């Protein structure tokens, strides 16, 4: 059984009674702000549903939050920009967009990332009807257009809006005591300033921002990036749980009060709202948390004025969002019959010494050349020999040959050599689907640090 996010046990009746009193006092505005709260940010905005959504979506069960991180440097000092490693020109667009669905019974939380380069139609606004990258909706019309565009693209009602920027994100992570993340390999990205050695780490706000923004680490681009952002969110929840903040009403009020000054919200979201959401998560186990990315069909769809964009796989995306609207788990909604791989099989040249294995690999699209079969087939597993320069392609071939051993050899050349062993002649079908390599639905139990 998965371990709970919180391991503390208390009298449920006593906790609920205390929680009720605290929420009442918060709603009355009697709880003081934290002493180190930052200067007030942008004013809350009125969240309005403008007829884009169906009647079913407006009354659908569960609670939906839209969490965005804005690429903004206004008001930051040179020292802050240097410390956070966020030089460059701001776009005043959303750098991070996450949908969070909390089930009506409070027994499941689903987090779905919407990559910033997703190409979607914008909701109606002051400009003629057009489409663009989803992160540009904020630039065109602020939080109102960002919310309505997400509602239009997903068919989901947004109940609460939480926005932060670079500086406030870093301060929020520090206010919550840091975020726990882990990696089994060195993560280094000069652009974001990330340098993270293998192991488990508790990141400060500045380091958490570098981790969340890194794009030039393996796997590169937005898909690996959004998975790290999901790990970061899970790490924040883990830290709060380990500190007892989710099971102790007083500590939870402290955490909500510390977090709110670092957020811009809709007018209906306050400390009492954050307390209620946090309190509802206190008994969730790691396997009751779900993390996914919208499935993709095209990864380099070129659009004049927008450049390279991502196009959703609309069939699987619709199934994913329908599951959320119907308050169901998303883990079974976007699965593939074939094993998803990061690289297009046709870009992987392979020499295979077994005709049956060669033919099976060819059916998945690999560029196969038949080699001379050995006089005596070797005992043991299949061995894949390749030049380390082509490391990124090795996992795609290995996925099709379960149990195969990877053997990097410098100077081996471009083609992969497959020597089929007696213990490893099985071949599985693979499909090029980068969005499912890093974005497939997983539980917090699968994602959390061990």
- The pLDDT of residue 8 is 40
Cα separation, 47 vs 150, whole angstroms: 13
pLDDT of the residue at 126: 83
| pTM of the entire predicted model | 0.77
Half-sphere exposure of 145 (CA within 13 A, CB side): 24
Task: Report residue 163 as tokens.
Answer: 């926005």
CATH superfamily for domain 12-336+437-447 = LCP protein (3.40.630.190)
Q: Which two tokens stand for residue 66?
A: 């839209």
* Peptide bond preceding 219 in cis form (omega within 30 of 0): yes
Q: What is the mean pLDDT of each run of 10 residues along the chain (450 residues)?
A: 44 43 40 43 73 90 95 89 89 93 94 96 89 95 94 96 93 91 91 93 94 82 87 91 85 89 91 89 90 89 94 89 95 71 91 94 93 87 95 94 95 95 85 77 88
DSSP letter at 295 equals -
In angstroms, the CA 397 to CA 408 distance is: 13
Contact (Cβ atoms closer than 8 angstroms) between residue 241 and residue 5:
yes
Distance of CA 378 to the CA centre of its chain: 43
What's residue 337's pLDDT?
65
DSSP bridge pairs for 266: 45
b or e along 100-138 (b: 16 or more beta carbons within 10 Å of the residue's beta carbon)? Answer: bbbbeebebbbbbbbbbbbbbebbbbeeeeeebbbbbbb
Alpha helices, DSSP H, located in 183-248: 205-213, 221-242
Q: What is the pLDDT of residue 41?
A: 55
User: According to the model, what pLDDT value does residue 28 have?
Assistant: 39
pLDDT value at position 10? 40
Cα separation, 90 vs 55, in Å, equals 38
Instruction: Compute the C-alpha angle 361/345/228, nearest 5°.
Output: 125
Q: What is the pLDDT of residue 335?
A: 59
pLDDT of residue 220: 67
- Residue 248 per-residue DSSP state: -
């Amino acid at each position: 059984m998965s371990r709970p996010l919180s391991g503390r046990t208390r009298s449920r009746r006593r906790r609920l009674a205390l929680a009720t009193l605290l929420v009442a006092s918060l709603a009355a505005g009697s709880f003081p702000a934290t002493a180190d709260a930052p200067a007030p940010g942008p004013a809350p905005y009125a969240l309005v549903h403008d007829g884009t959504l169906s009647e079913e979506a407006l009354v659908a069960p569960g609670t939906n939050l839209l969490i965005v991180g804005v690429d903004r440097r206004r008001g930051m000092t040179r020292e802050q920009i240097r410390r956070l490693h966020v030089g460059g020109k701001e776009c005043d667009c959303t750098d991070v967009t996450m949908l969070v669905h909390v089930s009506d019974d409070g027994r499941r939380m689903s987090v779905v990332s919407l990559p910033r380069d997703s190409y979607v139609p914008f909701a109606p606004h002051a400009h003629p009807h057009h489409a663009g990258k989803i992160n540009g909706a904020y630039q065109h019309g602020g939080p109102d257009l960002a919310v309505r565009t997400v509602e239009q693209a997903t068919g989901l009602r947004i109940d609460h809006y939480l926005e932060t920027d670079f500086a406030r994100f870093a301060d929020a992570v520090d206010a919550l005591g840091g975020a726990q993340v882990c990696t089994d390999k060195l993560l280094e990205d000069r652009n974001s300033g990330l340098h993270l050695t293998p192991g488990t780490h508790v990141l400060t706000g500045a380091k958490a921002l570098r981790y969340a923004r890194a794009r030039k680490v393996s796997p590169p681009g937005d898909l690996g990036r959004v998975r790290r952002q999901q790990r970061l969110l899970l790490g924040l929840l883990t830290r709060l749980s380990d500190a007892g903040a989710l099971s102790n009403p007083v500590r939870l009020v402290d955490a909500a009060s510390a977090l709110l000054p670092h957020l811009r919200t809709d007018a209906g979201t306050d400390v009492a709202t954050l307390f209620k959401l946090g309190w509802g998560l206190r008994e969730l186990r790691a396997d009751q948390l779900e993390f996914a990315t919208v499935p993709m069909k095209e990864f380099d769809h070129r659009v004049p004025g927008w450049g390279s964009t991502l196009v959703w796989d609309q069939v699987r995306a619709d199934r994913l969002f329908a599951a959320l609207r119907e308050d169901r788990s998303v883990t079974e909604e976007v699965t593939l019959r074939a094993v998803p791989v990061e690289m297009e099989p046709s870009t992987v040249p392979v020499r295979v010494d077994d005709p049956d294995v060669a033919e099976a690999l060819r059916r998945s699209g690999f560029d196969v050349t038949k080699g001379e079969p050995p006089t005596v087939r070797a005992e043991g597993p299949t061995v894949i020999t390749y030049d380390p320069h082509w490391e990124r392609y090795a996992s795609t071939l290995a996925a099709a040959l379960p149990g195969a051993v990877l053997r990097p050899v410098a100077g081996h050349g471009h083609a992969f050599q497959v020597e089929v062993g007696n213990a490893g002649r099985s071949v599985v079908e693979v499909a090029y689907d980068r969005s499912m390599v890093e974005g497939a639905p997983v539980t917090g139990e699968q994602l959390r640090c061990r």
